[in-house]
Structure 1
C-alpha cells in the first residue's frame, strides 16, 4: 500500500517539474546517474531554487517507486486538501456557477490522476472524494495526473453522501453519470450550479448515492462495450459543461 504520510515521494518528470511551482513543496530530489543528461531542466531548477539533489543508482529509485519513474524521484510536503465549506466559496469568488466533480469510491490511481488532470484543464472548482475506499493522493496518482494534483482543489471527506446533501442545501444540482440512465448528458442543463458524480471502475455509483441525485445521465453508446473508463466519461461530460457555459 502506498504512503499517505506527511512527507512522501513522487516520481516522474512532469510531477517533479510541477512541484517547483509550489512554494516550499520540494524537500529533496533523487536522480538516476544513468539519466542525468535527460534531466538537465530539473537539475537547473534545483540549483536555481537551492533544492538538494542526490545522484543515485537506478535500483535505489526502483525500490521506492511503483511505476514508470523516468529516473527521478522527489521528496515533497504533500498538497493540502480544503474543506467543503472552503470549496463552496470558490465559485462565488470567481463569479461562476459552481462546478464540482464527486468521485464515488474511485480506487484506481490511473483514473484518479487522469480525473485530476481533466479537472485542472476544465476549471472544475473542486474534486470531492471519500477518504475510505478511495485511492486518495498517493504517488501513482501524482504520476498519472502529470503533476495536475498541485493545481486542483481537493476535498477529502468522511462521507460522500453528507457532501452531496450539503451541496444540495446550497442549491447545487446533482447529476449522476450511469451507463443505464435514460437521459443523454448533452440534453441536460449544465449552466446551473452543479455537482457531477462518477462511480468506481467496477460497480459504478452506489445505489444509495444514485438515490440522492437530482438527475441521472448517460453517454450514449453504439459499440459492443456499454461503458467507458471513468476518466474518459468524466472528460466528455466535463467539457460539455464548458461548451454550454461558453468558457474559452
Structure 2
C-alpha cells in the first residue's frame, strides 16, 4: 500500500536484558533510550537502576509482564533497557563547550515532535545551518532510532543532543547562560526576520497539531511566526524549522 510504513520492531541487539547488565550499561555510559519495568517489580537492583536513570534522564516505563515476555524469552528479571544510537549530553556542558569554542549558541528545542522522520530532518537542517545542539525532553518526543538516523543523513551523529527531564528548566538554564529563547507560534505578530538572531539563541519548535506548550510560551523572550501568502497556515514542522534556521544563518553571515 502506497504511503504505508510498517512500524519497526525492537531488534534483539538493541535490548539489554536483566538487572545487572542494565546497571553496567548505564554506568559504562552506553546510550539508553528507555527502560521497561514490569509493573510492581521490586528489589535493590531495581532501586539502583531507578536512581541511575534519574541521574541520566533516562525514561522509565511501567509495562505488564506480557510486554517483556513478548520481547524476549530470556530471564529478564522484570526489566529490559532499549539501547540508543545517540549519546545524550548534559545541556550545561554543551553550552560551556560551544561558548568555549568561541561560537555563538544556536540551539533547537523540540516540544511534542513525535515523528522521528521530522526529528531527523530537523537535525539535518540544523547541522547545515550551523546550529550546535538539539534539546529534547525525556518524554513526549519520538525516539532517536534507526529511522531518525536515516532521515537525518548522519546529522544526529554530528550535532550535540541534550535530553532533559523538563523543558521549562532547560529554558531557565538557557536564560542563566545569556541565551534568548524564541518560540514559533502561528498567532504571533512578530515575524521571524525581525528576531535578533545574531545573538545567542534557542528556537522552540512545537508539534504540528498542538504547537508549543503554553507554559513554555510564557517564559520565552519572543514569540514569532513565519509569514505566509494567503490564509493557508499549515507547515510541516521540519520545513518550518528549516526556514527559521536558514534565516538565522543568513542573519549571522551578514552580521
Counterpart of 1:104 (choices 111, 129, 146) is: 111
Residues 1:234 and 2:249 are matched in the alignment: no
Distance across 2 between alignment mates of 1:133 and 1:2: 19
Cα 1:126–1:224 change in 2 (3 A) is: same
Q: Which runs of 5+ in 1 are unaligned?
A: 10-75
Partner-residue secondary structure (3-state), 1:154: strand
Match of residue 180 from structure 1 = 187
The match for 2:134 is: 127
| Structural RMSD (CA) | 2.4
Q: How many corresponding residue pairs?
A: 182
Q: Distance in 2 between the 1:160 and 1:128 partners?
A: 8
Query: Which residues of 2 match residues 22-33 of structure 1 at below 5 A?
Result: none
Unaligned 5+ runs, structure 2: 1-6, 16-82
Distance 1:196 1:227 in 2: 18
Which of 110, 113, 120 is equivalent to 2:120?
Answer: 113
Match in the other structure for 2:157:
150
1:95/1:181 CA distance change after superposition, 3 Å: same
| TM-score (norm. length: structure 2) | 0.66
Shift in Å, 1:188:
1.4
What residue in structure 2 maps to residue 221 of structure 1?
228
1:147 deviates by 2.0
State the Cα distance separating 1:245 from its structure 2 match.
Answer: 0.8
**Distance in 2 between residues matched to 1:167 and 1:196, nearest whole Å:** 11
Poorly superposed stretches of 4+, deviation over 3 Å: 1-9
